[in-house]
Every structure is written in structure tokens, then in C-alpha cells.
Structure 1
Amino acid sequence: MKMDFPVAKTVNARSSVRTYENRDLSANEKDQINAYINKLSNPFSADVTFRLLEKASSSDREKLGTYGVIKGAGNYIAASAADKELALEALGYSFEKLVLYATSLGLGTCWLGGTFNRSGFAAAMNLKEGDLFPCISPIGYPAGKKRTMESLMRWVSKADQRKEWSELFFKQNFSQPLTKDDAGEFAFPLEMVRLAPSAVNKQPWRIVQDKDTYHFYLARSLKSENDKVDIQRVDMGIATCHFHMAALERELSGKFQKLAKPEIPTPEQVQYIISWLPGK
């Protein structure tokens, strides 16, 4: 299937950018981003609202703040969703698709789930009561040189490191690692999942192959501030985005569906999220 951008190339090109050139996006780039936002969809039947925010046009520029984590960015993308089943996963899926599209345009982004003025951005989003608003991202032109703080943050989070296949992907149960040979043509979608970004680089996704079905699980490693800011569920949406785009690019037919909990014994703190079923 023809995609909007080459999946592997774009996934590998994306990295978290915290230092930007001090200029706004061009009018053409804003139009491209907004046009892409308007056609975003997700496979979880959950509505996600996006806005491209401009710091310069904000009634109070300081309210769109990131406590010094981001420097130079004049534009941000933000997303919210009504509180319903799989809403955070849907938001993560669509947000990551937008992040990758921005990457394909040569723009920088950085997932932010905590280090931003939530009330200021929430006001700019015109949130409805009960809406989920877990994260934002700056979007702009990467500066040529990283700040010392940015390099330190990447080092602390081991941003460029990823877990091995044997830690993430399993066959029939959680005691038998899945090999690339076992995965066959799905080795590519799984590798794209392995390379996905996540909060504090925790990589919380675990996937169990059960015949032709792939069950997605969340291995919790972070405490959420409250039930409505569960950033690791957003991470699961990112993982499903990478898997789905890679499968579509390779024309591997199937769909996501939440099943009754699969009869697979799970380790402590591991939660079933959704499954990928083969077929049209």
C-alpha cells in the first residue's frame, strides 16, 4: 500500500528535538500539517481532536510554557480525546502518525507528557469537561546544535537504546521469546514497534504471537499521576501505530480488535490491551 511517507526511513529519522531555530513554521508547512490533521483517523473508534498552536498568537505567551525543556519553538501540536475505552491508545496512535509525518517534512518534534504548563495549553485547546489531555509536542526547525541540558536528558533516558526482541516479543506465552524467523513477514512490523518512542524510554509494550494473531500487552513501569493521565497507554497507541503502518506498507491484511482477555498467563503488572487479527 502506498503510504504518505516511507515507514522505516521515517521511523529511523525521528528523534526527540528540544532545541529549535527561533522562527515559526512557514504558511505552507502550517497548511500541510493542518491538512494532515484533518485526515487523521485511528482503528479504535475514538475521536481525537488536534490543534496546531502558535505561541506568538496566544493571549498569554508564557502560558504555553515547557519549564525550559524546549527552547526556540514557536509552534506546538496538542491533542485531546473524550474519556472512553481505548481513547488514550487512539490518541497515541494518531499523534505518532502526525509526528512521523512532520518528520518526513524535515521538522522536529518531541513528545512531552509532563514538562509543560498543562493548564495553559488546556486553555488554548478549549477542552470540554472530562476530556483527556495527556501530551503535547513542539514542532519546528531543529537547531544545529543541542544544548547541554538536551544532551544530558538523552543520556539519562538512554534515548537511543532499545530492548532486544527477546524482551519484547513472545510466542504463545511469556516464557518463550519470538524469533524473527517465527515472525516471518511480521518481523518488519514488530521491528518498527521495537524502534518506537515511549515515555522515559520504558518501552512498555509486550506482544505475544498466538498462531496468526498478535496480542498487545502493557508492562507497567511508571506510576500515572491519576487514572486520566496514563501516559503508558499513550505509548501503547504509539506501538500500534508503528505496527499498523508497517503492516499496511507491506500489504499484510488484518485489523485491531479488543478480545475477551486471551487465555495466556501474564506476569505481574502486565495488562492486556488489544489484538491484531489476520484477514480483510
Structure 2
Amino acid sequence: MEKVDWENAINIRRSTRSFQIRSLEMETMDRLQSFVNDMRTPFKHDVTIRIFKANPNKKLYTAFTAPPDGAAFLSKTDACSISATGFVGEMFVLYATSLGIATCWYGHYTLAELEQIMPHLGVYAQLSTNPKWGYGKGMVQGKRAICITPLGYWRREGVRVFDRMQESLISFKRKPVKELFEGNIDVDKLPPEIFYGFDLARKAPSAANSQHWRFTVSPDLKKISIAMPVGYKHVKWEHPDVDIGICACHFWLGLTSKGVSCDVSLTEEKGRAVWYFKLE
């Protein structure tokens, strides 16, 4: 897998909703596909990444005009698969960012338009229960596109006033690490390489910048968990476990960047996905 400066990609990644209407270069598309083919993760999963061509209109994203290229993240619809989608999808998004490509995690896409440009529902295409936006909520049969992202080049002049206000006042503000722990954790006593992982984790994007992840650390500092609080419900986003997977991805990339080895496992507990990192 190609070497990436993950910290820099995390720091410069922004959710973009205004794009130049021009295709990515063929060499860039080839590098993206090669990354998908060669991607290595520390756990088994069935997430699929499909790169597609979109129509230059607002049918797919509704809030903005689609650039010619995009990618979809497909998986089963249980809590663990959805959270794994966040992890795997974020690795792709960060790699794209490292190539100078603008992206935006997007879950409320128009399902009919995605099926038209990227057939993926198969035998489930004609179900009367298919939702209008995204795949809906709850578990369904087969794999679904949990989220998609545009892939393109940022166009500053097309950014709406609301997006500019959100950019300056909301989107990039993050809680300090010490506010994200459950239990009594003395942050100052964490080994620097573990703190580094938490610092990258807290910078993960989340729906409406909710930052709903919480961390636990065992007394011996050898077992760490990342999950959302039991019973957490987001006001607008049906699948907050995606965001937890994104956060877990950042944490793992931070550990590996510092040479820390760990076993990674993903389980469902009390209706939510929980990531465990057992440090060696």
C-alpha cells in the first residue's frame, strides 16, 4: 500500500460542497483504484468501495452539484458493518485528500439516482420499502451504500453563505482530548504515542460536528475502547456508528504511525458498535 502522511491528511481534510465540474485525471483515478485494491486494515470486513461516474446536477447530493467522479461505501447494515464502513471509507477519503482531491462524507444521497448511475441493489431494486434518501435505517437484507462521497476539485466561489459560516464557526472545532474519556483518566500520564492517537481520533469528522465518540482506557493502559454512549441518538443522522468507525480509523492510524502494534476487534454491545484496541 502506498505510503501516506496520515497526520497531514487528517489535518487538511475538509468537507467540500462546491466542486469544479471537471473529471479527475486518469492517473489519479488509477491511483485511487490501486489503493482500494491494496488497502490493508487490522480487522476482517466485507466493506466494498466502488468508484462511479455522476451526472453534473443536484439529483444525487441535492444540496450541491455533483462533480463527475464519486465513490460509494457499501456494506451490510448491522451496527458493526456500518461502523467498519466508517473505518474503511475514511482510509479512502484520507488517501484521496493526500492526492489533493476534495471529498465529503454524504449519507442522505438520492437512492434512485445512485442506482441509476451505479446499479448496486440487484434483487432488492424493486422493493417498495426502499427509501428516498440513502438506504434508510435499521437492518435490511443484502449490502447497501451506507455513504458516498464526491471526488473532485474545490470551487471556492460556489460556497454558500451558510457553508462559509459553518466552516468558520462549527465544522473544524474539536473538543480537547480530556473531555472525551469515560472514567477518571489522567491525560497527562498517558504515553505520548497513545495520546497522539487520541489527538488524531478527536479530529475525526462527524455529523453536524457532534463528536459523539467516547474513550475508555484500562488501568494498565493496554486496552482501549472507542464507542458512542449507550442509547445515543443523533438528531439528523441515522447511522452515528459510521462516525465511530471514522474515529477508530484515526486512532489506529495514529498508533501505527508511532510504531505501536495492537490487535483490533469490533463488537456490538447494547445496540452500538464498540472498537477495542489491545496494545502489545
TM-score range, shorter chain: 0.7 to 0.9
Partner of 2:95: 101
Q: Distance in 1 between matches of 2:60 and 2:174?
A: 30
Structure 1 segments of 4+ aligned residues over 4 angstroms from their partners: 61-64, 258-261, 269-272
Q: Distance in 1 between matches of 2:28 and 2:90?
A: 18
Q: Report if the CA contact (8 A) 1:78-1:137 is conserved.
A: yes
Deviation at 1:199, TM superposition (A): 1.2
Matches within 5 A, 1:171-190: 174-190=182-198
Matches within 5 A, 1:66-215: 66-67=61-62, 69-71=63-65, 73-84=67-78, 86-114=80-108, 116-123=109-116, 124-128=118-122, 129=124, 130=141, 131-145=143-157, 146-154=159-167, 158-169=170-181, 174-210=182-218, 211=220, 212-215=222-225
Q: Distance in 1 between matches of 2:47 and 2:155?
A: 30
Partner of 2:133: none
Partner of 1:245: 253
Q: TM-score, normalised by structure 2?
A: 0.82
Q: Distance in 2 between matches of 1:233 and 1:184?
A: 27
Deviation at 1:258, TM superposition (A): 4.3
Partner of 1:20: 19
1:120-141: CA deviation from partner (whole Å, max 9, x where unpaired): 2144141354213221111101
Q: Distance in 2 between matches of 1:259 and 1:17?
A: 32
Identity of counterpart residues, as a percentage?
Answer: 24
- Superposition CA RMSD, Å: 2.6
1:55-112: CA deviation from partner (whole Å, max 9, x where unpaired): 24xxxx6685211x22351211111113456211111111100100011001100111
Q: Distance in 2 between matches of 1:160 and 1:143?
A: 19
Q: Which runs of 5+ in 2 are unaligned?
A: 125-140
Partner SS, residue 255 of structure 2: helix
* Number of equivalent positions: 256
Amino acid at match of 2:234: L
1:218-272: CA deviation from partner (whole Å, max 9, x where unpaired): 13240577xxxx42111111011111111111110101124797xxxxxxx9956
Q: Distance in 1 between matches of 2:162 and 2:68?
A: 19
Q: TM-score, normalised by structure 1?
A: 0.82
Q: Report if the CA contact (8 A) 2:79-2:271 is conserved.
A: no
Q: Report if the CA contact (8 A) 1:217-1:274 is conserved.
A: yes
Q: Which runs of 5+ in 1 are unaligned?
A: 262-268
Partner of 1:5: 4
Q: Report if the CA contact (8 A) 1:216-1:273 is conserved.
A: yes
Deviates more, 1:29-38 or 1:180-189: 180-189
Q: Report if the CA contact (8 A) 2:264-2:277 is conserved.
A: yes
Amino acid at match of 1:6: D
Q: Distance in 2 between matches of 1:85 and 1:19?
A: 31
Partner SS, residue 8 of structure 2: helix
Q: Report if the CA contact (8 A) 1:165-1:177 is conserved.
A: no
